[in-house]
């Protein structure tokens, strides 16, 4: 099929960006979206032009690196799908496809489609862990954990930290990402000890990074390629409030 790609080009962080049109003539429906961009980049390089920078690595939907807004939707808006898992069979001959980076103040563009997501890491540094050192831990089966609780923890832990939730949210809020980490730990006995303190610390860092507030529209949940549920946001709010009331 033939496609027109309308892609965001921006040379560096402070440069002014613009949408640039590219044409590809023989896109196979079996290609992945990123393979289609590879083909375009090969063409650009062969012409001596600068390749389009985009983040990617595993190309199987688990590392969370890929991060494109395709036709206005993070990861293209396909259910439970990351950009790297989008295949060209979902597009038609003659389509005009827009490709943009995540848009959020807390995620500045570094180049073209690549954004800086280290704000997520800094949120994690502030308390996204159980405070145990290596060694001296009890036998793994010493504390039984009900399967349904472990399953909920796993549902939350499935977050790949891609940032689609932020990109989808009109407030650029990071509540889904932050609540998934809090949610994972609050459903496990190992994480319970620091539950309230963790919520306070992560929320404080989230605010400091310039992410927006949550107004409960749940676009984050809809955009999440790992189906992280917005109920974790409710749980996080409860922990945050309780943490501030009990030990302000």
Q: What are phi and psi of 42, to 5 degrees?
A: -60, -40
Q: Which does 66 bind (CB under 5 to 8 A by kind): ligand FES, another protein, none?
A: ligand FES
Please choose which of ligand FES, another protein, none residue 128 contacts, taking the beta carbon within 5 to 8 angstroms, the exact cut-off set by kind.
Answer: another protein
Q: CB under 8 Å to 25, separation ≥6 — which residues?
A: 2
Q: Which residues bind ligand FES (CB under 6 A)?
A: 56-59, 61-66, 82-84
Among residue numbers 149 through 208, which ones bind another protein (CB under 8 A)?
A: 150, 153-154, 157-158, 160-161, 184-185, 188, 190-191
Residue 62 vs 130, nearer CB to ligand FES: 62
Q: Which of 236, 96, 101 is nearest to 167 (CA)?
A: 101
Q: How far is the CB of 34 from ligand FES (least distance, A)?
A: 7
Min CB(215)–another protein separation in Å = 27
CA 190, 196, 200, 201 dihedral sign is negative
Residue 146 binding: pick among another protein, ligand FES, none (C-beta 5-8 Å cut-off by kind): another protein
Q: Got the DSSP string for 6-40?
A: EEEE-SSTTSPPEEEEEEES---TTSBHHHHHHHH
Smallest separation, CB 80 to ligand FES (Å): 12
Give me the least distance between CB of 112 and another protein, in Å please: 8
Q: Which of 158, 1, 8 is nearest to 69 (CA)?
A: 8
Task: Name which of 33, 27, 28 is nearest 59 in CA terms.
Answer: 33
Which SS3 state, helix, strand or coil, does residue 111 take?
A: strand
Of 32 and 237, which has the nearer Cβ to another protein? 32
Under rule CB under 8 A, which residues in 22-41 are in contact with another protein?
A: 28, 30-32, 34-36, 38-39, 41
Comparing CA positions, the residue from 172, 177, 185 lying closest to residue 106 is 172
- Name the CA dihedral angle for 124, 127, 131, 134, rounded to a multiple of 10 degrees: 20
Of 9, 59, 103, 242, the residue at the interface with another protein (CB under 8 A) is 59
The pair of structure tokens assigned to 187 is: 């459903």
Contact string (CB under 8 A) for another protein, positions 2-21, x = contact = ----------x---------
Q: How far apart are CB 62 and ligand FES at their closest, in Å?
A: 6
Q: Which of residues 70-89 bind another protein (CB under 8 A)?
A: 80-81, 85, 87, 89
**CB-wise, 193 or 234, nearer to another protein?**
193
């Amino acid at each position: 099929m033939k496609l027109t790609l309308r892609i965001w080009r921006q040379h560096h962080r402070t440069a002014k960006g613009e949408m640039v049109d590219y044409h590809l003539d023989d896109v196979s429906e079996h290609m992945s979206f990123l393979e289609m961009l590879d083909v375009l980049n090969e063409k650009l390089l062969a012409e001596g032009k600068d390749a389009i920078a985009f983040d990617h690595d595993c190309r199987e939907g688990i590392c969370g690196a890929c991060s494109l807004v395709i036709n206005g939707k993070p990861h293209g808006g396909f259910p439970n799908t990351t950009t790297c898992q989008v295949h060209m069979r979902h597009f038609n001959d003659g389509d005009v496809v827009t490709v943009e980076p995540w848009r959020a103040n807390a995620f500045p563009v570094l180049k073209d489609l690549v954004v800086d997501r280290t704000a997520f890491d800094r949120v994690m540094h502030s308390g996204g862990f159980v405070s145990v050192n290596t060694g001296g831990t009890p036998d793994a089966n010493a504390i039984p954990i009900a399967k349904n609780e472990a399953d909920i923890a796993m549902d939350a832990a499935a977050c790949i930290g891609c940032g689609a939730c932020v990109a989808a949210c009109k407030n650029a809020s990071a509540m889904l990402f932050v609540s998934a980490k809090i949610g994972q730990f609050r459903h496990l006995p190992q994480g319970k000890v620091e539950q309230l303190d963790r919520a306070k610390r992560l929320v404080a860092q989230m605010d400091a990074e310039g992410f927006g507030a949550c107004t409960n529209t749940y676009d984050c949940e809809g955009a999440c390629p790992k189906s992280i549920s917005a109920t974790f946001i409710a749980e996080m709010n409860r922990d945050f409030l309780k943490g501030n009331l009990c030990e302000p």
